[in-house]
C-alpha cells in the first residue's frame, strides 16, 4: 500500500472519528473548533498526495469551484425539504478526480453550506457523511465498478446516499438526539430517517441521471487535457 493511501486512510478512519468523539464529549459551543480541526485533517491527505510532485494551481482551483457548485446546489434547493442535489455534485467530483478529492469536496462543501444553514454539533458529522459520498464514488470508479451509463451513475448515487450517507447522518442523531441509548430508541431514529434518506437518494438519482454524464465528461476532459490528479486516477 502506498504511503499516501495509508496516510489518507489513517486520517479519514482514525483522526476524524477521534475528533468526532471529542466533539461529543466537550461542553459548550465548540462547533467551529471541531469543524476546523476536521477540515485540517481532511486537507492533510489531500496535500500529502502532491508531496512527490509540484502542485498545480489549476487543480486547486477546480476543487474550489466544485465546492462552490456543491454549496450553490444545496442553497438553490433550500426551499424543498430533504431534496438537495449536493450529493450528486460531490459524487461527480469523486468520479472525476478520485476518492480523496471527492472526500475533500464533500466535507468542505458541508461546512461552507452550513454557514448559511447554521452550524451545530451535527456539522462535523455532516462533513464526514458528505465526504464519504465523494470517497465512495472515487473508489467505485477506480475499481471500474461504475458503468459509464447515466442510469448506472444514478443507481450508484441512489444506493450510496440511501445505504451509506443517510445512515451516517442518522448515527449523528442517535448520539445527539437520543435521551437514552437503547435498541428501541436507536431503531426509532433510524426508521424515522428512512423517508428522509429515500427522498435525498431519489434527488441524487435524478440529478446524476439527467446531468451526471455530461458533467463528468467535461471534468474528465479537463483532467486529461491538463494532466490533473494523475496520482489518483493512474
pLDDT score at 223: 84
pLDDT score at 134: 93
Who contacts 168 (Cβ-Cβ below 8 Å, separation ≥6)? 125, 128, 129, 132
Closest CA to 15 of 42, 50, 51: 42
Closest CA to 97 of 52, 51, 49: 49
pLDDT score at 54: 59
Q: How far apart are CA 60 and CA 166, in angstroms?
A: 29
pLDDT score at 61: 86
Residue by residue, pLDDT tens for the chain (234 residues) are 566 667 777 777 788 788 877 776 666 556 667 767 777 787 677 667 655 555 577 777 888 999 999 999 999 998 998 999 999 999 999 998 888 788 889 988 999 999 999 887 788 889 889 999 998 998 888 777 666 788 989 999 999 999 999 999 998 888 777 666 678 888 888 999 999 999 999 999 999 999 999 999 999 888 887 777 654 444
Q: How far apart are CA 223 and CA 229, in angstroms?
A: 7
Amino acid at each position: 500500500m502506498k504511503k499516501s493511501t495509508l496516510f489518507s486512510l489513517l486520517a479519514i478512519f482514525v483522526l476524524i472519528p477521534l475528533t468526532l468523539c471529542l466533539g461529543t464529549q466537550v461542553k459548550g459551543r465548540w462547533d467551529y473548533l471541531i469543524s476546523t480541526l476536521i477540515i485540517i485533517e481532511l486537507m492533510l491527505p489531500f496535500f500529502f498526495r502532491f508531496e512527490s510532485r509540484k502542485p498545480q494551481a489549476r487543480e486547486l482551483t477546480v476543487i474550489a469551484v466544485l465546492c462552490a457548485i456543491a454549496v450553490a446546489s444545496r442553497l438553490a434547493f433550500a426551499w424543498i425539504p430533504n431534496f438537495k442535489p449536493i450529493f450528486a455534485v460531490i459524487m461527480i467530483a469523486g468520479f472525476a478526480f478520485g476518492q480523496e478529492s471527492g472526500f475533500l469536496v464533500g466535507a468542505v462543501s458541508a461546512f461552507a453550506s452550513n454557514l448559511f444553514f447554521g452550524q451545530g454539533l451535527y456539522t462535523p458529522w455532516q462533513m464526514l457523511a458528505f465526504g464519504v459520498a465523494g470517497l465512495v464514488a472515487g473508489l467505485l470508479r477506480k475499481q471500474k465498478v461504475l458503468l459509464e451509463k447515466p442510469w448506472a451513475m444514478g443507481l450508484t448515487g441512489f444506493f450510496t446516499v440511501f445505504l451509506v450517507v443517510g445512515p451516517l447522518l442518522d448515527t449523528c442523531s442517535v448520539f445527539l438526539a437520543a435521551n437514552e441509548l437503547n435498541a428501541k430508541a436507536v431503531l426509532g431514529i433510524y426508521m424515522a430517517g428512512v423517508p428522509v434518506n429515500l427522498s435525498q437518494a431519489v434527488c441524487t438519482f435524478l440529478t446524476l441521471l439527467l446531468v451526471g454524464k455530461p458533467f463528468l465528461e467535461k471534468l474528465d476532459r479537463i483532467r486529461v487535457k491538463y494532466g490533473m490528479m494523475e496520482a489518483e486516477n493512474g
